[in-house]
Amino acid sequence: MYIEIIKAIEPEFEKAVDFAQKKVASFRTGRANSALIEDIKVECFGDMLPIKQLAAISSPSGKQLLIQPWDRSYLELIEKAISREASGLSSRVEGNSILITLPPMSEELRKELSKALSQVENGAKETIRKFRDEAWTDIQAKTREGLIREDDKFKAKDKLQETVDKYSKRIDELVSRKKIEIEG
């Protein structure tokens, strides 16, 4: 019975890790990475679409991103969205594409990014703790109802903590890898 309760919350843990992964990927490091801009929303066709649906994004060098829209009419719309959403990145239109050059990272920016990374980490872990608490409350309720034996309740607590630790470790690894990239 308790195994089902734990399995039922694992997708929520997975969502917390996925969210953290997407947020961490969007943080700028010393190297150009399409994740910095690919999800920026562009107003197009009366809808808000991410850049990755409107253009090919590549990195011709470690400090540049090249955006090649599928249609030339997207150029101005994409450039406006980048200047609005990605402060600190300078972009310019070159022919049928947009070239973004990443400025060198200052020590102040590195500290800000590190602080923001910690906030993402704490938020994801807080979400995991919230679902852990819900599962534990459910396990205790089922124990009081007689659906889970007292011995199994303590096994469930250990198994639940083991699962929480597994997902927390994944978040720690994501954040520490990104911190190394930022400091590097």
Question: Where residue 80 sits, what CATH number does that domain have?
Answer: 3.30.1360.40
Distances (CA, A) of 89 to 10, 68, 99, 117, 156: 37, 17, 10, 19, 49
**Residue 87 and residue 176 in one domain:** no
Per-residue pLDDT of the chain (184 residues; tens, 9 = 90+): 778 888 999 999 999 999 998 888 877 676 777 877 888 888 887 888 888 888 999 888 878 889 999 988 888 888 888 888 776 677 888 888 999 888 777 788 788 888 888 999 999 999 999 999 999 999 999 999 988 888 889 899 999 999 999 999 999 999 998 888 777 6
pLDDT at 87: 62
- The pLDDT value given to residue 28: 67
Q: What's residue 164's pLDDT?
A: 95
pLDDT, residue 157, reads 92
For residue 111, the domain's CATH number is 1.10.132.20
Question: CA 98 → CA 19, 60, 83, distances in Å?
Answer: 28, 12, 12
The rounded distance, in Å, linking the Cα atoms of 88 and 94 is 19
Structural domains in the chain (count): 2
Domain co-membership, 18 together with 46: no
Instruction: Report how far residue 49's alpha carbon sits from residue 52's, in angstroms, rounded to the nearest whole number.
Output: 8
Q: Tokens 């303590």 identify what position?
A: 154
Position 184 scores a pLDDT of: 65
- Rounded Cα distance between 70 and 6, Å, is 45
The residue type found at 173 is E
Domain residues for the domain of 42 are: 34-101
115 with 163, same domain? yes
Asked whether residue 19 falls in the same domain as residue 39, the answer is no
Tell me, yes or no, whether 68 and 86 share the same domain. yes
Report the predicted TM-score, pTM, of the whole model to 2 decimal places.
0.69
